[in-house]
């Protein structure tokens, strides 16, 4: 990265390692837990970085900063992460990305909108950015320039999520299970779940269902002792496989994660339970390989059996839908970035325009002070000459500059006053 790189408003600098640029091992070593973030950020602010925050997630460790000198800041940030990794910077430098100027701003917007994530449209990413923002604010390393850019990024993310399908449709197995459960059973807070076995995948499914509102749970295992051990963290009732027949009567959702290699739940058991339930539906998530729930269960009226392959098919549909929406999302993001840059440029130009108006008003007042002896034609001629005197002298001084400064000034004047356009409209007008 060179000093000539374009500068975004506030001198934005981004340095990080993400799922595309780096290894998991490096990201694990440079990961900054929330408890350590304040000290880490404060140390950066003490070394040529004005404002900063850090995002540490499963797929990125990224510092977003504002600094007076981009090259200096990049060196500081690289050194800080290399020190944390315990490796020489020369060995890991190529796993970092560094961005400044408008590309950095575009990246910041893309991160907030979850367009730069492993899973496009991932809902929790915006929350992670906001949590990093809050952490930096508490640490005293958040400043107005960085905060303004982040707020604009949040607005862009909201527009993209509202106006595109980028976040619609589940894309992970667990979120797919939640979506299907809602489709079948509606309000999960009013439904009961039966967890069979203590497999990791089953626990993951249950965690997502609980987050979606599921409150009522019963746990089942081969022995009473094992069932009690699984149920203890959930604070729920437990039973053994011998009681599965009756347990199905009250189960609206069944998560099977025993992994015994045989069908613990048979079609005959489920058919009997459905009869007793007056055909109120049961949704089965068979999270075991091989399955715990007999495939024939899915053929029963009011019984819905989804194994991991079925959930993966639903997830793939969601991923394809998000990929199709990604093009539109990027176009909206570029519009938001351009609008932000224009607004910032207008704010930077405002003080100059105020001074220019004051200068013009002073010149007008000086001419008017000469009294009423001047005719309107003479007064306006004097005013034009006075206003043009300064610019004319500067142009004369810059004439012949080998850097082409005079040509640049003339071009700027033509743009400011629409001179080329006016001449095309009225070729006879003198400039």
CATH code of 228's domain: 3.40.50.720
Task: Report the C-alpha gap between 63 and 54 in whole angstroms.
Answer: 4
Instruction: Give yes or no for residue 69 having a pLDDT over 70.
Output: yes
Query: Predicted confidence band at 332 (pLDDT cuts at 50, 70, 90)?
Result: very high
Average pLDDT on 164-188 reads: 87
Last residue in a domain, options 133, 163, 193: 163
Same domain, 157 and 178: no
Return the sign of the alpha-carbon dihedral for residues 424, 425, 430, 431.
Answer: negative
Instruction: Give yes or no for residue 420 having a pLDDT over 80.
Output: no
**pLDDT digits 0-9 by tens, 292-318:** 999 999 999 999 999 999 999 888 888
| Of 37-46, 182-191, 310-319, 354-363, minimum mean pLDDT range | 354-363
- Catalytic machinery residues: 58
pLDDT at 14: 97
Instruction: Give yes or no for residue 152 having a pLDDT over 80.
Output: yes
Query: Predicted confidence band at 401 (pLDDT cuts at 50, 70, 90)?
Result: low
DSSP type of residue 293: B
Residue 352, in any domain of the structure: no
Residue 324, in any domain of the structure: no
Last residue in a domain, options 105, 133, 163: 163
Average pLDDT on 408-413 reads: 76
DSSP string, 31-85: ---TTTHHHHHHHHHTTT-SEEEEEE-SSEEEEEEE-S-HHHHHHHHHHHHHHHH
Same domain, 159 and 202: no
Q: Express as a percent the part of the chain with pLDDT over 90.
A: 63
CB pairs under 8 A, 24+ apart, for 276-284? 276/249, 277/249, 280/252, 281/184, 281/185, 281/252, 282/248, 282/251, 282/252, 282/253, 282/254, 283/180, 283/181, 283/184, 283/185, 283/252, 283/253, 283/254, 284/254, 284/256
Same domain, 29 and 155: yes
pLDDT at 402: 55
Same domain, 198 and 308: yes
**pLDDT digits 0-9 by tens, 206-256:** 999 999 999 999 999 999 999 999 999 999 999 999 999 999 999 999 999
Domain housing 126: 12-163
Same domain, 56 and 118: yes
Query: Predicted confidence band at 148 (pLDDT cuts at 50, 70, 90)?
Result: very high
């Amino acid at each position: 990265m060179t000093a000539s790189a374009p500068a975004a408003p506030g001198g934005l600098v981004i340095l990080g390692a993400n799922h595309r640029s780096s290894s998991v091992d490096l990201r694990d070593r440079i990961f900054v837990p929330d408890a350590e973030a304040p000290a880490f950020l404060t140390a950066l602010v003490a070394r040529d970085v004005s404002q900063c925050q850090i995002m540490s997630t499963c797929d990125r460790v990224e510092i977003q900063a504002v600094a007076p000198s981009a090259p200096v800041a990049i060196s500081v940030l690289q050194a800080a992460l290399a020190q944390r990794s315990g490796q020489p910077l020369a060995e890991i430098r190529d796993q970092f990305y560094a961005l400044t100027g408008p590309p950095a701003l575009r990246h910041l917007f893309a991160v907030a909108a979850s367009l730069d994530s492993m899973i496009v449209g991932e809902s929790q990413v915006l929350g992670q950015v906001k949590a990093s923002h809050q952490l930096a604010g508490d640490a005293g390393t958040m400043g107005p320039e960085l905060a303004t850019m982040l707020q604009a990024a949040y607005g862009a993310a909201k527009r993209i999520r509202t106006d595109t399908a980028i976040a619609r449709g589940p894309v992970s197995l667990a979120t797919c299970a939640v979506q299907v459960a809602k489709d079948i059973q509606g309000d999960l807070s009013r439904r009961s779940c039966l967890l069979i076995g203590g497999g990791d995948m089953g626990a993951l499914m249950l965690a997502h269902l609980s987050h979606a509102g599921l409150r009522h749970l019963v746990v089942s295992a081969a022995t009473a002792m094992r069932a009690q051990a699984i149920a203890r963290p959930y604070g729920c009732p437990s039973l053994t496989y011998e009681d599965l027949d009756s347990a199905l009567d009250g189960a609206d959702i069944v998560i099977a994660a025993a992994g015994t290699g045989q069908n613990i739940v048979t079609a005959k058991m489920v058919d009997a339970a459905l009869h007793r339930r007056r055909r109120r539906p049961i949704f089965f998530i068979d999270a075991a390989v091989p399955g715990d729930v007999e495939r024939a269960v899915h053929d029963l009226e009011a019984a819905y059996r989804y194994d991991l392959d079925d959930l993966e098919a639903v997830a793939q549909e969601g991923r394809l839908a998000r990929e199709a929406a990604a093009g539109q999302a990027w176009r909206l993001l570029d519009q938001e970035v351009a609008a932000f840059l224009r607004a910032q440029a207008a704010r930077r130009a405002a003080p100059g325009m105020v001074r220019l108006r004051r200068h013009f008003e002073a010149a007008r007042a000086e001419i008017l002070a000469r009294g009423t002896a001047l005719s309107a034609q003479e007064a306006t001629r004097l005013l034009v000459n006075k206003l043009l005197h300064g610019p004319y002298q500067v142009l004369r001084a810059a004439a012949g500059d080998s850097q082409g400064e005079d040509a640049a000034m003339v071009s700027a004047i033509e743009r400011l006053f629409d001179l080329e356009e006016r001449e095309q409209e009225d070729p006879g007008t003198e400039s």
